[in-house]
Amino acid sequence: MSEKAHPRADELSSLTTLQLLEVMQAEDRRAVDAVHRILSQAARAVDGISDRLRAGGRLHYFGAGTSGRLAALDAAECPATFGVADGLVQAHDAGDGEAEDDAGKGRDEARRAGLESRDAVVGISASGSTAYVLAAIAEARSAGALVVGISCAPGSPLGAAADIAIEIETGPEVIAGSTRLKAGTAQKVTLNMISTGVFTRLGHTYHGRMVGVVGANEKLRGRAARLVGELTGASHEEVANALSDAAGNAKVAILMLRCGLAEEEARARLTSANGDLARALGEARVG
């Protein structure tokens, strides 16, 4: 559908700048609305990926062009947002040009990734037919990994090859073939939901807060102090002391203040709960 001309294509050059942007923004709304129709499949993906990571696996993205860059962005943001290890979410981006058609490159990069049956692999391709992605997905299936396919082309080869097919029907682009527009918007929204859903299910957020935040700068250290204070009711001084003792780890500081634990005890309890703050606090978690 992205290759088809938009219904208003012939009049775009005669529109005012404001009118052109209104057309684009209306199409972006349609793209986001289209994501609503695949929420059940996205939920299956979140649960399946969470199970694999809970068992010690990793999450791999394979994409090319705009899809690959969006995947790389999502993977890069996971450690900063959720405090997870750098290698837990890995993006394999073929880039543009001939590489998109290079099935051998897809196979080789999937093999070099050392995929295992406990891993989850997400292939991302607006057309659902990118050779690099399809070859990587085939290797993932051979390894027994969970395979999720995200495309904007219902009935595509990627959807057929995936255990869970997320096919977002976004329709013609304002600029035919430019999948950085609606297709890119829909893929970005979907990747946001999947990674956030996964790490929420795995306990890397708590009550809608980034409790895995890494205090790499003043802004993030301030965020950690605020959320520890909000979640414990402790004074500024108590929060500062707990975070200092916990080497900036907000989850450990929260356990110390909520449960009256020493730093070592709090850290050990968090480790035994696999980093899940809710479980470490003895709270039931759904999923």
CATH architecture of the domain with range 218-280? Orthogonal Bundle (1.10)
Distance CA 221, CA 194 (A): 26
Check residue 257 and give its pLDDT. 96
pLDDT digits (tens, 9 = 90+) for 214-231: 888 999 999 999 999 999
Distance CA 254, CA 280 (A): 10
Catalytic, out of 77, 169, 238, 263: 77
Amino acid at 188: K
Catalytic, out of 3, 27, 100, 218: 100
Domain boundaries, the chain: 30-201, 218-280
Q: Does residue 77 have an active-site annotation?
A: yes
pLDDT digits (tens, 9 = 90+) for 165-201: 999 999 888 888 888 999 999 999 999 999 999 999 9
pLDDT digits (tens, 9 = 90+) for 65-75: 999 999 999 99
- CATH value of 30-201 in 3.60.40.10, 3.40.50.2020, 3.40.50.10490, 2.120.10.10: 3.40.50.10490
